[in-house]
Structure 1
Amino acid sequence: LKLPEDPGRRHEIIGGEHFVSPSPSMDHQGVHDEIYMRLGIHVRASQLGLLRSGPVDVKASEYDLVVPDIVFVRAGRPGVIKRGGQEMIEPPDLVVEIASPSTRRRDRIQKLAFYARFGVREYWLVDPVARTWETLVLEGGVYRALPPEGTVHRSRVVERFTVDAAEVFAALDALEDVADEVTPGTEAVSENRDEATESAAGEGQAT
């Protein structure tokens, strides 16, 4: 199956069924950037492998092609990405999906089943709206949840990597603070502009 070119939206095929997702929200993007930054610093510092953010196609067959938010492939696995392209033709070691209201069910059901079937060793399912984080590891073809230590999640695939979910979600609070600050500022600019207009009009009448 050939997917349409549609900038700003994500097209995926799971079991031959076509799914379309809208552009990510600011909350989605904020959590994505925080996770990618933390993973990237650790992976590069320890030279653990390849870390990529979407769009990267993970293709198991003509009827199964998904576009995860973040993928990691450990060092020593050549040929996972088709040379000259952007398709992963073998399973990444880690996939991160950041759920949104429109993708929550798909991430938890269809994609979870696909990643298990394809052999993705670890799957992080992060929900910025519900503020939940699940670290799932593949055992015997089935995903099992790794319980966190408080709010700290430890990866089995990315060596020596831990992440505090509470700190990641705190990035959303910072985003909300910025939004709160922008609104009053915008109003102030508007008020100043109105005052300047009135003043100019008054001067014109006086002349």
Structure 2
Amino acid sequence: MLLNATDVKNSFGKVLKMLDYEDVIVTKKGKAVAKIVKFTESVKDHGYIKEYPAEYTGQDRKVTYEEFLKFTANSENRYELINGEIYMLASPKTTHQQVVGQFYVAFYKYFEGKSCTPFISPYDITLNIKDETNVFQPDLGVICDLEEFNNEHDQYMGVPALVVEVTSKSSRSKDYVKKLNNYMLAGVKEYWIIDPMYQNAKVYGFDDDELIDYREYEKGSTIASSFFEGLKVKWV
């Protein structure tokens, strides 16, 4: 079903009823600008919502870094660009934020006075992987190449030494597959995945695009870094 933006705005209740039968394509000045689809549990359980710039709807191609910047420039939502696909990030839950906070405090204390510094999301990390620019928002991380800060735009354009993702049902497929591979190829030295749902954590060590170390921890144990000597976090 094709409807112009004005009709959608004035008759949104009818539009919602139409979704029981078909998707609705929204047009503006004769050009398709958006697609409205019916929400289902399968979409919810998929783990994330992919959002593309309107002009790319229906096109089977990757989104460029420049297009990503244009699409997100005036948005208050949080997005990641991974292998040419744009992902809108869900709002974090209470448990997620509690874990992030606990680990950030431990990181802050460890790195205080040292040459590296921790960061906490929301914070864009732009990584070039096989001639493709990706943008991630890890929950937590450590930056050691401080010279890679762009003072003019107040942005960091380097590669973190360590990144942490506190995974959830909505992000698990990205954290365990897409991000694991991309962080390794980008030159990240260590990647922690903290999983509150299953109460375990995994620590991956990388070097020269290869996995060189892997450790598993249960909640209640002390998670230790293999890259930063003495960096330990008691996960309670």
Answer yes or no: same fold by TM over 0.5: yes
Aligned to 1:164: 234
Match for residue 57 of structure 1 among 112, 124, 143? 124
Secondary structure at 1:120's aligned position in 2? coil
Identity level (%) = 25
Native 8 Å contact 2:148 2:156 kept in 1: yes
Q: Distance in 2 between matches of 1:132 and 1:82?
A: 36
Question: Which blocks of at least 5 consecutive residues in structure 1 are unaligned?
Answer: 168-207
Native 8 Å contact 1:59 1:65 kept in 2: yes
For residue 147 of structure 1, report the CA deviation from its aligned partner: 4.7
Q: TM-score, normalised by structure 1?
A: 0.70
Aligned positions, number: 162
Match for residue 178 of structure 2 among 89, 95, 110? 110
Aligned to 1:66: 136
Question: Which blocks of at least 5 consecutive residues in structure 2 are unaligned?
Answer: 1-66
2:187 aligned with 1:119, yes or no?
yes
Secondary structure at 2:111's aligned position in 1? helix
Q: Distance in 1 between matches of 2:153 and 2:118?
A: 16
Q: Which has the higher contact order (CA 8 A, sep 6+)?
A: 1
Q: Deviations over 1:59-102 (max 9, x none)?
A: 1246411111112023xx33222224354322110001111111
Secondary structure at 1:109's aligned position in 2? helix
Over 4 Å off, 4+ runs: 147-150
Secondary structure at 1:30's aligned position in 2? helix
Native 8 Å contact 2:116 2:146 kept in 1: no
Q: Deviations over 1:122-162 (max 9, x none)?
A: 00111111111111100341233135599222112333111
Aligned to 1:96: 164
Aligned to 1:10: 78
Aligned to 2:114: 47
Letter in 2 for 1:81: F
